[in-house]
Structure 1
Amino acid sequence: MSGQLERCEREWHELEGEFQELQETHRIYRQKLEELTALQTLCSSSINKQKTRLKDLKHTLQRYKRLASREEAELVQQLGANIKERQNVFFDMEAYLPKKNGLYLNLVLGNVNVTLLSNQAKFAYKDEYEKFKLYLTIILLLGAVACRFVLHYRVTDEIFNFLLVWYYCTLTIRESILISNGSRIKGWWVSHHYVSTFLSGVMLTWPNGLIYQKFRDQFLAFSIFQIIMGIFYINTEFCLLIFSDYKVPHRMELSFMSWHCTQLPAWCHHSSKHLLSAYCMPRKPPEVSSLVGA
């Protein structure tokens, strides 16, 4: 037997031994996966039971509060606050558990589990979402400038409007996935993307004519102002960086943050005062919430 054939035989035996180890590792993986699925089902069932009982308890307390004395009213108020806090805890717990998709995701993706199970995966998806907004904003800005001042053709307008439709459709899908993973994005922030998708579709299918040409320049001039989204991106990336470095809870905030500045290190208040000033107000504008991140 030649030396080369012997080396091939030895290599095969080594591969055979590694394959046996791989099979055992894969068997353990499948076993753990089944255990994980069982634990997820158990947690989801327990949370639903707890939420139902808390809801009944809350209604009972509300009825009793009308007849309660002053001391009893204070106890009822404390229990109500505890119930509200517990519901927030359930919200964070459910961010790590599979859940049914909403109507929109079911229509677009079907019954696919979109829950990300680790903080790193949630943060990475949220960060990728922000970068997607930045890159497309730059492209759309350049497209709007070109169509407004250089390219006065219907075909280029259609390409630009189609890009707008695709961009806003993609945003709504990604934001729905973020919400499924614990993001507290404000409803109006998502809704305005649905409206933008519809209006972009109207522009795409609008027949060329005198009225279209009169409205076209105004629409393109307005589209140029999308550069403000770049400012939102810079703000968000700054906060995501701090969340990542200092492990502040709720890392899925989007544009305006909903946490207190006292959670940040002292140097942030001095070196980044112009950025943090927008975050020191209560929960309001386009929240972009809790990334544990999306």
Structure 2
Amino acid sequence: MTQVLTEIPEEWKCLEEECQKLQETHKMYLQKLDEICKHQNNCSTSISHQRKKLKETSRRVKKCSKGSSGEDLKMLEELKKKIKKREHDLSEMEMFLPKKNGLYLSLVLGNVNVTLLSKQAKFAYKDEYEKFKLCLTVLLLLLSFICYFFVSYRVLDAVLNFLLLWYYCTLTIRESILITNGSRIKGWWVFHHYVSAFLSGVMLTWPDGNLYKAFRNQFLAYSLYQSFVQCLQCYYQSGCLYRLRALGERHNMDLTVEGFQSWMWKGLTFLLPFLFFGHFWQLFNSLSLFRLAQLPDCKEWQVLMCGFCFLLLFLGNFFTTLAVVRQKLKSRNKKPKNS
């Protein structure tokens, strides 16, 4: 007992020394944090000033280019390249500085700063996003399979639709954060998730009845197929992105997407038939729903709304994929001529 009593004061003394060191370290950390905030503000102000000056210089160069020729034109063209490079450098700097949220993130999160300030944090968040997508896609695949083949309860269908709604809403938020941190996913593949979230919400509110039962199996089969294709995409696109990043051909914050982009061309063209089949299935769903909406006993607004959503998904997915394939084929055909 006496030995324990002598040990306790010694342990407490060690703890006090450790706590003192911790307080000093924390004080230093707060000082460095203040310094970082000042540097961030200085950098942001300087970048804004640089952009303003570059804009003015670019306008003057463009104006001078119209009436110039020979050496002067050559010099101005060289200056244009330098301006373009400087703009790219400033964009790279901005990736590691806090920036204002877009409209969507401001509505959802407010003015919370979502900029990740280190490469490690950015990559970790991106990898976590990819894992989230894959895990939820597998879960949706299993649930769609159970609903289609084994269980025919409206409650379980509602669980599936709620999971789809939550999944797509979460993707829109995560993707907005990733775009803020330098990911270059844009255009239709971003808007696609907003439409899918809205469609899932409408499906969730569709009351049980004859019309719902008439469309149920078709929707579940489509959901099962979509989840399967998304699993294929996640697996092969992630492998393709890893290879292209290793070769230095892709940006490190590029993501796998639920569609087809030009960087997927090598080794991934086998996905195109699966994607186009899924697109035309969306058109088939839309036409089926419009046909149901014309029935005399159709009173649910969800039928027509789902039809419009599926039609919008088909048009966006089909023409965007077609445009990417056309662009890639055109660039491929130009290569032999230039060489």
- Mark yes or no: TM-score above 0.5: yes
The CA deviation at 1:124 is: 0.8
The CA deviation at 1:85 is: 2.1
8 Å contact kept, 2:241–2:250? no
Distance 2:16 2:247 in 1: 46
8 Å contact kept, 1:94–1:182? no
Which residue pairs with 1:265 in the alignment? none
TM-score, reference length from structure 2: 0.72
Which residue pairs with 1:237 in the alignment? 238
- The one-letter amino acid paired with 1:32 is K
Structure 1 ranges of 4+ moved more than 4 A: 239-249, 256-261, 275-278
Which residue pairs with 1:201 in the alignment? 201
Spell out the pairing of 1:1-294 with structure 2 (5 A cutoff).
2-225=2-225, 226-238=227-239, 241=242, 250-255=251-256, 274=267
Distance 1:92 1:257 in 2: 23
The CA deviation at 1:76 is: 2.7
The CA deviation at 1:70 is: 4.3
8 Å contact kept, 1:165–1:200? yes
Q: Would the alpha carbon gap of residues 197 and 52 (structure 1) be closer, same or farther in structure 2, given more than 3 Å must change?
A: same
Which is helix-richer, 1 or 2?
2
The CA deviation at 1:84 is: 2.0
Distance 1:245 1:69 in 2: 43
Please provide the CA RMSD for this pair: 2.8
- The one-letter amino acid paired with 1:230 is C
Distance 2:66 2:43 in 1: 35
Decide which moves more: 147-156 or 124-133: 147-156
Percent identity among equivalent residues?
Answer: 53
Distance 2:216 2:70 in 1: 65
Q: Would the alpha carbon gap of residues 202 and 70 (structure 1) be closer, same or farther in structure 2, given more than 3 Å must change?
A: farther
8 Å contact kept, 1:91–1:182? no
Unaligned runs of 5+ in 2: 272-322, 326-339
Distance 1:284 1:83 in 2: 29
Decide which moves more: 76-85 or 172-181: 76-85
The CA deviation at 1:250 is: 2.8
8 Å contact kept, 1:97–1:117? yes
RCO greater where, 1 or 2, for CA within 8 Å and sep 6 or more?
1
The CA deviation at 1:235 is: 3.2
- What count of residue pairs does the alignment treat as equivalent? 270
Decide which moves more: 208-217 or 233-242: 233-242
TM-score, reference length from structure 1: 0.82
